[in-house]
Amino acid sequence: MNKRADFPLTEIDPDDIGHNASANPTFDSVLSARLSRRSLLRGGVGTAATALFGSVALAACGGGGDDEAAPPPVATDPPITSLAFTAVAKSLEDRVTVPAGYTATVIYALGDPLDAATPDYRNDGTDTGFDQRAGDHHDGMGYFGLGANGLRDDNASDRGLLVVNHEATSHPGSELSSTYLHADGGTPTLPRPAAEVDKEVPIHGVSVVEVKKAAGGGFATVRDSAFNRRITPLTPVQLAGAARGSALMKTAYSADGTQARGTLNNCGTGRTPWGTLLTGEENWAGYFARGAADDAARGNDKSVASLKRYGRAQGSKSRHGWESAGADDKYQRWDISRKGTSTDGTDDYRHELNTFGYLVEIDPYDKAAAIKKRTSLGRFAHESAAFSKLVEGQPIAVYMGDDSRGEYMYKFVSSATWSAADGNAADRIAQGDKYLDSGKLYAARFNADGSGDWLELTIANPLIAGFTGYAFADQADVLVNARLAADAVGATKMDRPEWCATHPTTGEVYYTLTNNSSRSATPGAGQFGVDPANPRAYSDLKGDPAQGGTTQRGNVNGHIIRLAETNGAAAAATFRWDVYLFGAQAQRDAADTSLSDADYAASVNLSSLTADQDFSSPDGLWFSRNTGLCWIQTDDGAYTDATNCMMLAGVPGSVGDGAKKTLAYGSTSVDTYVGKAPTAQTLKRFLVGPVDCEITGLCETPDGKALFVNIQHPGETISKAALANPAGYPSHWPANAGYGAGGATTARPRSATVVITKDDGGRIGS
């Protein structure tokens, strides 16, 4: 789902608005801490970095042995350290633009059939059978190689399975129906017809689709592959980990709290070292309705605090009104009000919300394998999952972000220590059981001296056990209410943590912080003060004020923060951090004649981005294992007066390669740590998407020669009334690129996967 940066833009996902009312540290307290810790400042970082990289290098070399994990595909090609392609210019065109010498080809769009029996997609709102079609809003994605024998082969670059998240569906905030899915735009008000809901539910979830390289070199999906399948909000899944069977999980669907129904709002992904996919459930809360008098119906028990913290105060309306489609259980589960008389919740869906908000593990190769929600990794608005560099005999860490204003960054550290042999085990889900069900969950605190602490979320911590904001019963309760536990321990409120990714060489962990309109130098109600890790609050002009242009405020363009664990250890309790890149616009707005527009100023453009590099609202983030390149994708609404959303390639350095920078705010100031500015060879715009899209999700073949990228929600928002004028649709992509049914100037837009190849057959980015 698109996350617009600021008012007055149309589509702020309500789940991103933020429900963190905790009193965790903001500017004043951090400033005082900084003064007392100043002696620890950068003097230590160079030394720490040297020590860190020394230790990483040692681990990689294994002290002469081979303690680096073997199973993931071995990149035999050298990393790309200088970007050779010509940067793509910012663009407002309704097309996918890639550099000269590259080709982007659409291969898998909303509605494409996943078997031979399902008809071709007509794209006119009359299609049905979405449990055998591509879903909507393609998002995070993984490539899983297939050998000629039809079995897993991590080195196969000519045949594989794409596992694609389908996050959401397009609708104006004021209308409930998914406009493009229905012939007439659907029923925008309550009650929703069952036939419409039965189409909208299964376009969410995940798809598995086989892709194969043709003799001529191009990739296409294999329509009748036996691997193809859909996983939807109705697919049976298991609850795994510490909250399995908890009293908090009991519903009319699963009286013993061990089962859940489906997965929802699947955003980022992570590829496990044993060959499965983790899919992150992000903005799931908004799909559920809660009655106006439900606090009293629940006897004002502690669930009320939990529901509020996750954005479901009583009276909350649901995003699509699915609960209104009938008495059938599959509709009623979207109403989380207490309706039954049981004391344990097994006669209604009062606990249904607790069964969403997890990383969910899927084995792409095995339709029969259980799908498992890994509750030990915490419940929040999950994005991607990044694994630490693997070291034989050491625990593994999974890094995660919670995308909402003022939410936290997390890591999970496994109890089990890594054994490379597990990477090739035949029962892949059993490896998930081993590494993901038992371990410790932490939230991040960023200190003013450039250090950071991982704060364990455990019921044994007196700050959690004695928390006045919520009475935790046990560790399952801590995990299900991870946000409240992180409040209790004083984690740092961040500017909407989106994807994270691990640098394949250094092992440092990068997180996008997409933007935060609630960040302020002088915070008021519901706002967050600037701090060292979230140091910017400024105003930015969008459009021409004379033509209705507006001023956006806060951290308008977002940034990318990175962490180096102490001694490079996945289980480290502390880390060092700096900011790899600050998003910003490089040039004055074309419409700005006021000379008052600060958005391109040096105090905002802290990474000195040029016109070939400037970006706003970083979201997707991923490192190629073949080329080592850092790919940055945007989901922006702040700089879209100048350009559609984009993807850039970067060659990052490492934590501490830049300098401390003091940002002045009136009579006070905040220090931050800015990574070394990129050069023309180390950061370049590689792709710009069509109108009103988000660029998100990417994966590649192991040889680094085919990059799969998702274009989410082109022409995102259209009202039912505007649907009657096809020529006026904001986008006609991908029909205007020659893909699928419909005219180039009249077709409804569709989310789709594109595959990018280099015309000379080389590696992407070389």
Q: What is the binding site for ligand FEO (CB under 6 A)?
A: 1, 3, 167, 267, 282, 383, 403, 498, 619
Q: Name residue 609's beta-bridge partners.
A: none
Beta carbon of residue 738, minimum distance to ligand FEO (angstroms, whole number): 28
Among positions 3, 199, 411, 503, the unique one binding Ca ion when judged by CB under 5 A: 3
Beta carbon of residue 17, minimum distance to ligand FEO (angstroms, whole number): 13
Is 382 a residue that touches Ca ion (CB under 5 A)?
no
Beta carbon of residue 265, minimum distance to ligand FEO (angstroms, whole number): 7
Restricting to residues 680-739, which ones interact with Ca ion according to CB under 5 A?
Answer: 696
d(C-alpha 553, C-alpha 541), whole Å: 9
Residue 457 phi, psi dihedral angles, 5° rounding: -100, 90
Is 16 a residue that touches Ca ion (CB under 5 A)?
no
Closer by beta carbon to ligand FEO, 105 or else 514? 514
Q: Which does 533 bind (CB under 5 to 8 A by kind): ligand FEO, Ca ion, none?
A: none
d(C-alpha 25, C-alpha 261), whole Å: 38
Closer by beta carbon to Ca ion, 274 or else 408? 408
Is 619 a residue that touches Ca ion (CB under 5 A)?
yes
Q: Which does 508 bind (CB under 5 to 8 A by kind): ligand FEO, Ca ion, none?
A: none
Closer by beta carbon to ligand FEO, 499 or else 733? 499
Q: Are 6 and 553 in contact (CB under 8 A)?
A: yes
Closer by beta carbon to Ca ion, 56 or else 500? 500
Closer by beta carbon to ligand FEO, 294 or else 498? 498
Closer by beta carbon to Ca ion, 516 or else 626? 516
Q: Which does 755 bind (CB under 5 to 8 A by kind): Ca ion, ligand FEO, none?
A: none
Beta carbon of residue 594, minimum distance to Ca ion (angstroms, whole number): 12
With residue 647 as reference, give the H or E element that holds it.
strand 646-650
Contact mark string toward Ca ion, 622..641, x via CB under 5 A? -------------x------
Residue 541 is given by DSSP the state E
Encoded tokens for 76: 């035999």
The CA-atom distances, in angstroms, between 612 and each of 83, 252, 482, 638 are: 12, 55, 40, 18
Q: Which does 282 bind (CB under 5 to 8 A by kind): Ca ion, ligand FEO, none?
A: ligand FEO
d(C-alpha 766, C-alpha 760), whole Å: 11
Restricting to residues 599-618, which ones interact with Ca ion according to CB under 5 A?
Answer: 599
Q: Which does 540 bind (CB under 5 to 8 A by kind): ligand FEO, Ca ion, none?
A: Ca ion
Q: Is there a cis peptide before residue 113, judged by omega within 30 degrees of 0? A: no
Q: Are 416 and 434 in contact (CB under 8 A)?
A: yes
d(C-alpha 297, C-alpha 311), whole Å: 18
Encoded tokens for 763: 């590696």
d(C-alpha 703, C-alpha 691), whole Å: 31
Encoded tokens for 539: 């105003």
Closer by beta carbon to ligand FEO, 53 or else 284? 284
Q: Which does 599 bind (CB under 5 to 8 A by kind): Ca ion, ligand FEO, none?
A: Ca ion
Beta carbon of residue 411, minimum distance to ligand FEO (angstroms, whole number): 18
Among positions 540, 671, 692, 700, the unique one binding Ca ion when judged by CB under 5 A: 540
Q: Are 500 and 280 in contact (CB under 8 A)?
A: no
Beta carbon of residue 146, minimum distance to ligand FEO (angstroms, whole number): 28
Among all chains, which residue has been given the structure tokens 């969008």?
A: 542
Torsion of CA 339, 341, 343, 344, to 10 degrees: -60
Chain centroid to CA 306: how far? 23
Burial class for 37, CB neighbours closer than 10 Å (0-12, 13-18, 19+): middle
Restricting to residues 509-528, which ones interact with Ca ion according to CB under 5 A?
Answer: none
Closer by beta carbon to ligand FEO, 25 or else 280? 280
Q: Which residues contact Ca ion (rule: CB under 5 A)?
A: 3, 540-541, 589, 599, 619, 635, 696
